[in-house]
Structure 1
């Protein structure tokens, strides 16, 4: 018998309100106490010997994080299960619904997933000491269920061999120019949480009429937020309508013919929380891994090696990367993303037929 495909509607429900533009504005029922990494925690984690990490960040990033953790804590292996955020959400719903407890720690590019997991009682309250000390309150759940592990911006980009700087699009409106017909690539909200959030933001800011016009540009449709940068780097398309900025920054560092465009109207901010599950099969290793994820060394690696953004107060910005303070950011409302997700994906699929 094949696995049942759970729709998001089956596993979603109403959640408490979150103020628009804030990451985690839900009032805390009880403030979480910060937890330090103790010798006892390390010893207990080593006895478990493994941690199961479900990752929506790109595989190379997740694996690097895992290898750093394994090097710091020999004897504990990290099993990375990487997929798109929407696929991870479905998988965890299937597992939890079947009484299967396989996930220790999960991160997602869709904040609304944490609202649902928290409402369902699936997350454990665990606030790493480093988070309490160095992260802004609006990036931390008040009850310690999750916090923002990293972030990036969704942007426009182009291949510099195919497009001259003076001809490149500077805004979302520019993408509707007939000259870009058949030359654009973009991600899909049914696979990627980052693209789902981006689609929500664009439809909110410009209306669905904008996306209807964009769909008529004969857009190449790919899955994740990491796919459009690859397509323009390879020259398979000249311009990307969405996709993460960090891939383009890394490609530029490698001498690839790509350029980042932070749209005039603003760039959707994608935050990537991480949380420990209450029924984690390796609860101590899960907590140790969560603490490591938010440590200065892990956060600095995400910035330096992968051009991600960090909210850690002691992490130094990446040289040559445009700081978030200089970018007009378009922030989402997780509750609204959650409420509209099925409608967004269905409406989008009708417009952008593969």
Structure 2
């Protein structure tokens, strides 16, 4: 916009939008439903149902804290959280629907390509929270109202500050191929974690399978969830983290642990975490209430502050002292690309890393 001074929020959104790419691109455009606010009628309908089943890829402590906040806000509506890695949740949903089991009301995944698949199968219900309509850029909401980006996080490198001096720490993914790091690194697994699946896709796109082949010869410790790698450098079990939740490293550092995140020179893999309601939800009003509440400014600010993740709600501010996403070089996200390459990534990765 000519003559307009860009605010810090504009810069943040521009950076994040570049990373998100076409997460919610849709070849078929339908009329999105009207935005819905939290009303006494919706709250009462949710209380009559009395329960919500939330399938989540969030770390369990984070999911539980979010759940307790929801229950405190709406007494009489209990939340049951089923936590697993996104790729495992994807398999579970497929198996349950194949057996005509419809247990889940709401799901949050760290692999945005899952939304594309579920939407194509007609499994998602349209619902647009008022805050999403007002304060989320188009890049972060499905055009047909089937999902919204509840969180953005990064996959970064990290190191143990007791084992590695700052001047010796890796500054890029290329640095991880140095023989001095052989047997000293830890990495998540893309067949379990949506974060690692998304990050692996971006790394392969930017660096090639040749890079992964070289990395696999570095005797890298393999763990499952993206929440696990930050713990290994924190405990001194490994000197360096190849990938994993950057926010986990930030929280550990804020708690006084000897870890430091590194934002690789090639760009940090970027992960969107969309949330959606299933059309077959057994507690549809509780699901709508949760979806609307989760995306309010108050909840997004609360969630961002205690998780060290990033919100795309235009009114949410970064917690003082934390690095802003606008200051970080990011890799571009491409959910459609992940969907096309998922099986190839699982197969080739398992062969290279022998896991």
Structures share fold, TM-score greater than 0.5? yes
2:343 corresponding residue in structure 1: 342
The answer to whether structure 1 residue 43 and structure 2 residue 76 are counterparts is no
Q: Distance in 2 between matches of 1:320 and 1:220?
A: 32
1:22 corresponding residue in structure 2: 22
Q: Distance in 2 between matches of 1:138 and 1:159?
A: 36
1:313 corresponding residue in structure 2: 314
Matched residues, number: 336
2:161 corresponding residue in structure 1: 160
Q: Distance in 2 between matches of 1:120 and 1:231?
A: 39
Q: Which runs of 4+ in 1 moved over 3 A?
A: none
The answer to whether structure 1 residue 218 and structure 2 residue 219 are counterparts is yes
Local SS of the residue matching 2:149: strand
Local SS of the residue matching 2:124: coil
CA contact (8 A) 1:228 1:243 kept: yes
Displacement of 1:22 in angstroms is 2.2
Per-residue Cα deviation, 1:22-53 (whole angstroms, up to 9, x for no partner): 22122522123111111111101000000000
CA contact (8 A) 1:200 1:332 kept: no
TM-score by length of 2: 0.93
CA contact (8 A) 1:32 1:142 kept: no
1:284 corresponding residue in structure 2: 285
The answer to whether structure 1 residue 102 and structure 2 residue 103 are counterparts is yes
Per-residue Cα deviation, 1:108-144 (whole angstroms, up to 9, x for no partner): 0011100011011110000000111111111000010
Displacement of 1:20 in angstroms is 8.4
Per-residue Cα deviation, 1:77-123 (whole angstroms, up to 9, x for no partner): 00000000011111111111111110000010011100011011110
1:234 corresponding residue in structure 2: 235
Matches within 5 A, 1:140-151: 140-151=141-152
1:272 corresponding residue in structure 2: 273
User: Any unmatched runs of 5+ in structure 2?
Assistant: 1-18
Q: Which moved more, 1:144-153 or 1:325-334?
A: 325-334
Q: Distance in 2 between matches of 1:239 and 1:318?
A: 26
CA contact (8 A) 2:32 2:126 kept: no
CA RMSD of aligned residues (A): 1.2
CA contact (8 A) 1:53 1:78 kept: yes
CA contact (8 A) 2:20 2:272 kept: no
2:121 corresponding residue in structure 1: 120
Local SS of the residue matching 2:270: strand
CA contact (8 A) 2:230 2:245 kept: yes
Local SS of the residue matching 1:78: strand
Displacement of 1:303 in angstroms is 1.2
Q: Distance in 1 between matches of 2:23 and 2:321?
A: 27
The answer to whether structure 1 residue 176 and structure 2 residue 177 are counterparts is yes
Local SS of the residue matching 1:270: strand
Displacement of 1:336 in angstroms is 1.4
Q: Distance in 2 between matches of 1:304 and 1:240?
A: 24
